[in-house]
Amino acid sequence: MRYHKIPDETVRRLPIYLRGLMVSADQGCEHISSQSLADSVGVDAWQIRKDLSYFGDFGTPGVGYNIEKLARGIKKTLRLDAIRRAVLVGVGDLGSALLAYPGFRMYGLDIVAAFDADPKKIGKTVNGVEIEDAAKIGTLRQRDISLAIVAVPRAAAQSMVDELVAAGVKGVLNFAPCKLVVPKRIKVITLDIAMELARLPYYMPRVEQMSET
């Protein structure tokens, strides 16, 4: 293996592989070939091998990959071994669902704090996390939390992010349907759910619809 910059598209796929490895590990497997993993996650085998080749030699020719070792390697590459604590801002319908969502655990991620501006919500506990006053986001600085999830209405998103950045947050998963302006050192991934649904019709077969022409 030689030095390579890891392509963004590879980084996008790594969590998929991790998910597939967990499933195989649960089934008691110790090793897995790129082909088997490919079948279970829906990515081509050569793509998996190429992706993994960017950051380490994990496989054994003739045998495959040691699941435990490969999972550790991927986690390290994604820096999931060091960063594990996240804060949620905005405990509305979507925010509450995220607090209850068990899926983060698979990647070793935990939501350990939550903020909201609504006085009726402050002080309540949802899924073991107490909702704090959004005006106190500054207190995050002392709490070793560098990941934030933003689930507030569009109008509030930018100001919340400004405060999060001031409080030392380094990465943001944004559910508000808008662009967020942040310093270059901060990474924002925006996930606009309605937008994903909106691009689905483009790929659907062009049959005449009964409603409207």
Partner DNA sequence: CCATGTGAAGGTATTCACAGCC
Partner DNA sequence: GGCTGTGAATACCTTCACATGG
* 195 is an interface residue for its own copies by CB under 8 A: yes
Q: Which two tokens stand for residue 115?
A: 């903020």
| Distance of closest approach, residue 62 Cβ to its own copies, in angstroms | 27
Residue 113: strand pairing partners: 87
The answer to whether 90 and 151 are in contact (CB under 8 A) is: yes
The H helix count followed by the E strand count for the chain is 7, 10
Name the site residues for DNA (rule: CB under 7 A): 1-2, 7-10, 33-35, 44-47, 49-50, 52-53, 57-65
* 42 is an interface residue for its own copies by CB under 8 A: yes
| Distance of closest approach, residue 165 Cβ to its own copies, in angstroms | 12
The binder of 44, among DNA, its own copies, none, by C-beta within 5 to 8 A per type, is: DNA
Among the listed residues 21, 53, 93, 141, the single contact to its own copies using CB under 8 A? 93
Consecutive H or E run containing 24: helix 8-26
* 16 is an interface residue for its own copies by CB under 8 A: yes
Regarding beta strands 110-116 and 85-89, do their DSSP bridges make them parallel or antiparallel, or are they unpaired? parallel
Distance separating alpha carbons of residues 162 and 17, to the nearest angstrom: 34
Within 13 A of 193's CA, how many CA atoms are on the CB side?
Answer: 5
Binding to its own copies (CB under 8 A) within 129-168 occurs at 144, 146-147, 149
The answer to whether 99 and 114 are in contact (CB under 8 A) is: yes
Interaction site with its own copies (CB under 8 A): 11-12, 14-16, 18-19, 40-42, 77-86, 92-94, 96-98, 100-101, 103-104, 106-107, 109, 144, 146-147, 149, 170-173, 177-179, 185, 187, 189, 191-206, 209-213
